[in-house]
Structure 1
Amino acid sequence: MTSASLSNDRPVAITADRSRKAIYAACVGNLLEWYDFGVYAYLAPLIALKFFPGHDPAASLLAAFAAYGVGFLARPLGGVVIGRLGDTRGRKAALVLTIFMMALGTIGIGLLPSFDSIGLWAPICLVALRIVQGIAAGGEWGTSTAFIIEWAPPTRRGFYGSFQQVSTAGGSLLGSAVAALATTTLSEPQMHAWGWRLPFVLGIVLLAVGVFIRRNVEETPSFTLAQQHTQPAHKVVSGIRLGGLAFGFTIFWTVAYYSLLAWMPTFTHKYAGLSASQALWSNTVGLIAMVIAVPVWGAVSDRIGRKPLLLASVVSIGVLAWPLYYLMSTRTGLVWVMPIQILFGVLLAMYSGPGPAAISEIFPTHLRSTWMSIGYTLAAAVFGGFAPFMSSWLIGSTGSALSPTYFYLIPAAAISLFVIASLRETSGHALN
């Protein structure tokens, strides 16, 4: 038991029971939100046909991925508005708001008439709903990360914080699994007619589960203390500088995540000889490996530090990306693709495990939700959200299935490597 904050000059203790309840609340809502936000990527080929019909399938797919990226462009706005709400009104208020917004966007996509029914209004409304989802996701990541880290026991922030990424990857895993299940159990005509809508309509669970859980948790002790001791004069200068570090820290993280996971079913289906169903199931197995490995690496970071694991992940993926993509594109079939996706999942988990604690520990409490959200979401918008689009465009422009590695993934690794090397080790230090 540790004294974490002051309320009426008396210490408020972080207990194991309070920590578990708070983290459960953050992670369940986070999992459901990222399921909703990510399922779009797994059904992009069908969405392209329903909302962006045309004579060129490649152009339609690019249009669908462009709409996917628009959701990421809206994330910085969510980071500013909802992140600021989290720093002024509390983490809890911000997290309840994101639940409502994400549910609106997801269920709306599931019920939206296609291009054949309402013409150009279909893609316009689709983009509008993606913007709503993007704003919600932009506020969700930083606020939920701050919420978890501030409730974590000081010596276990790496382990507890890793569950933010477990829930994020778990949401993607759930989306991938539901999409795979739908494509396996339903016929192709059924998927084209109505089956693609089911994963989106399931977002209604978001309201029933997420709102109930998040409305029944306490505000973080660190936020309560910060409200009593905030120094407004230092917000702008330190916020911009530290937000820039968070931006650089996130570049590799988001490019690797959306290249190696969200876009991978498209790559393995088109260039590695897998069927659509096999590509989704292989991706699901890779996500399972990542979800299992993330808390392990998070716990390790509490013992040996954040930086050794972060640097090892960046270097290993940067070095192995090209040869592993080459193997997948030349030695087709599940026997090659699935082990590679498992390896990518484990190596990316080495970053995602200590990542939430490491990025949170950059900031003081009164700046954490706002500027961590801004730095993270700007990097996600500029580099991660358009990773599927850029990967498809690079392959189309160069004629090489390997071009996303040396034009996108490896440069991203180099940038974040420089930033991580410049950070001080924060494991074991008091949370500011």
Structure 2
Amino acid sequence: MGEAWKNAVHSDPSVKELPNDVMQIPDEELAFYYHSDTDHGDDNIWGLLSGVGGNIYEWYDFAVFGLLAPEIGSAFFPESSKKLQLISSFGVYLAAFLMRPAGAILFGEMGDRIVGRRHALIFSILLITIPSILMGCLPTYETWGAFAAFLLIILRMLQGLSVGGQLAGSYVLSIEQSSANTRGFRGSICDASSVGGFLLASAVTTVTRSVLTEDQVNRWGWRVPFLFSLLLAPLLYATVSRAEESKLWSERIEQKSTETKVPEKEQTAAPAVVDLFSSPFRRRQLAGMIGVLSAVTSSFYTIFLWTPVYLSELRGIMNEQSADLINFFVVSLYICFLLAAGKLSDKFPHRMDLIRIGLPALIVTAPTMFGVFESESWVGYVLAQLQFCFCLSLIQGSMAAWEVELWMSDPTLSFTGVAIGHNIAATLFGGTMPLVATFLYYVGEDVLDASSDDVVWPRILPGLYISVLGCISFYCISYVVRHPHDLRGDSKLQEAVKRKMDEAQKQKNDPQERSCSNKNNYLPPII
């Protein structure tokens, strides 16, 4: 099709010839820009509330495990040293992340090709409820021995399978139901609700540790936060049941079902994940998306899960209750930062502008935070975390809208694209972060033990790791990944896309032209 297009341009003197660099843009990438202004949203409130409720519920259940890592390590790995108990507990935490890409493929197929976004979201919520309840009732090593630890890993993996589809489902459903000028804000509400799940988990664990004695928490009190999820499930189901399906997805599915009635279109449909990886442009988008998310996911799990453990268990700067209380305060303010950044992102001409501002700030503040932790000042402990959270919010505030907009050109692939990209990044950089950070901490301890000088740099190794990931993210968002807003301000690209739109309209109106179209079907139909 690209060659025919060039010949048509040269043969028609009324058509202005475009530069070679624009003419060499693949058809699939032009189709991506062609849908830059896709807007089927009406800002439906129940779609947003179902995503918000689902995120709070799922991320509460998911975060409780990380916050109770010391107690769980003691209950299921009692024969290990305190150091190995913590590492073993974080290892089980990582096991859940290893299942998230599988959950992304499963729920992506359900949400894109089988039942739609709404029903996939409902199923993911049901899938996480049962393992959470069973985890709260699970006998410990003292009763069942190593088999108890094995069951703990299995239940945790089932939780990971569920989360692999839930967050992406809430993103896609909420953003596809949003108008173009509210996507950043509504997406930030989804992310804020995920943080709200962490906040609720932090609140429940803090109350549990405050009300019960340390011995009671270690023996049975750690079960209370898991069983608390029983109170949330009925409210959540009532909310999700009132949500509507995405109009963008429904119309595209209806259009595809019409296409299959045309004889030349009849063929066995490939799974969504196969379609995703069959396109060079989509593969590049996926790689760039994972690179951009590397700094965000590692930073998120560092500040909200690992930092309280670092300040209390590892460094011994404060007790667990104080670390949890500071974490609760920081998370609360982070939600406000996140919503403000999401609202602000809708005011910028390009979705990635605010992300490009936040990444350099994050690169600097990550090691700075760990350096300030050595100040022996409670004000410093709080301000260092708030500074880090503010910079992180500038990136994450528009991230949900950015992720969905990368894949909106084809609604029958967008759930899969968002889910796989987000969960691979979360697994590689978020799930491994507690282990990597703990390892770097002990490396720093060994350096300090071997050194006669009182130096700070070994303490900031976890922060330096985040800085390296931040540099990778900045490169990917600047040179690898493409976004529909790239069309804005680029007159040459706009002209190329205009011709692509005219060609699409011609193919839509002329069956003979449609049958001769690109066999890879890079050009989505006009919706």
> Aligned letter for 2:438?
S
Residue number in structure 2 paired with 1:224? 250
Residues 5-24 of structure 1: CA distance to partner in whole angstroms, max 9, x if unpaired? xxxxxxx97444xx112101
Residue number in structure 2 paired with 1:317? 362
Alpha-carbon contact 1:29-1:206 (below 8 Å) kept: no
Residue number in structure 2 paired with 1:327? 372
Residues 293-348 of structure 1: CA distance to partner in whole angstroms, max 9, x if unpaired? 111111111111322211222111111221221110x2224322112222222221
- CA RMSD in angstroms, aligned pairs only: 2.1
Question: Which of residues 284, 291, 308 in structure 1 aligns to 2:353?
Answer: 308
Residues 1:401 and 2:467 aligned together: no
Residue number in structure 2 paired with 1:81? 106
Residues 1:352 and 2:396 aligned together: yes
Provide the C-alpha distance between the structure 2 equivalents of 1:343 and 1:405, rounded to a whole number of angstroms: 13
Provide the C-alpha distance between the structure 2 equivalents of 1:370 and 1:359, rounded to a whole number of angstroms: 11
Residue number in structure 2 paired with 1:418? 475
Alpha-carbon contact 2:199-2:332 (below 8 Å) kept: yes
Alpha-carbon contact 2:109-2:416 (below 8 Å) kept: yes
Provide the C-alpha distance between the structure 2 equivalents of 1:133 and 1:229, rounded to a whole number of angstroms: 35
For these two proteins, the number of residue pairs brought into alignment is: 417
Alignment of 1:262-277 (within 5 A): 262-269=305-312, 270-271=314-315, 273-277=317-321
Alpha-carbon contact 2:100-2:427 (below 8 Å) kept: yes
Q: TM-score, normalised by structure 2?
A: 0.76
Change (3 A) 1:162 1:428: farther
> Aligned letter for 1:41?
G
Q: 2:317 is paired with a residue of what secondary structure?
A: coil
Alpha-carbon contact 1:36-1:175 (below 8 Å) kept: yes
Relative to structure 2, which stretch is displaced further, 300-309 or 156-165?
A: 300-309
> Aligned letter for 2:382?
M
> Aligned letter for 1:249?
V
Alignment of 1:12-411 (within 5 A): 14-16=41-43, 19-88=44-113, 89-230=115-256, 235=276, 236-237=278-279, 238-269=281-312, 270-271=314-315, 273-304=317-348, 305-328=350-373, 330-363=374-407, 364=409, 365-399=411-445, 400-406=458-464, 408-411=465-468
Change (3 A) 1:229 1:401: farther
**Sequence identity (%):** 27
Provide the C-alpha distance between the structure 2 equivalents of 1:342 and 1:85, rounded to a whole number of angstroms: 39
Q: TM-score, normalised by structure 1?
A: 0.92
> Aligned letter for 2:477?
I
Q: Which runs of 5+ in 2 are unaligned?
A: 1-38, 260-268, 446-457, 489-525
Q: 1:366 is paired with a residue of what secondary structure?
A: coil
Alpha-carbon contact 1:159-1:354 (below 8 Å) kept: yes
C-alpha deviation, 1:241, in angstroms = 3.2
Change (3 A) 1:412 1:56: same
Provide the C-alpha distance between the structure 1 equivalents of 2:360 and 2:302, rounded to a whole number of angstroms: 16
Q: Which runs of 5+ in 1 are unaligned?
A: 1-11
Alpha-carbon contact 1:274-1:333 (below 8 Å) kept: no
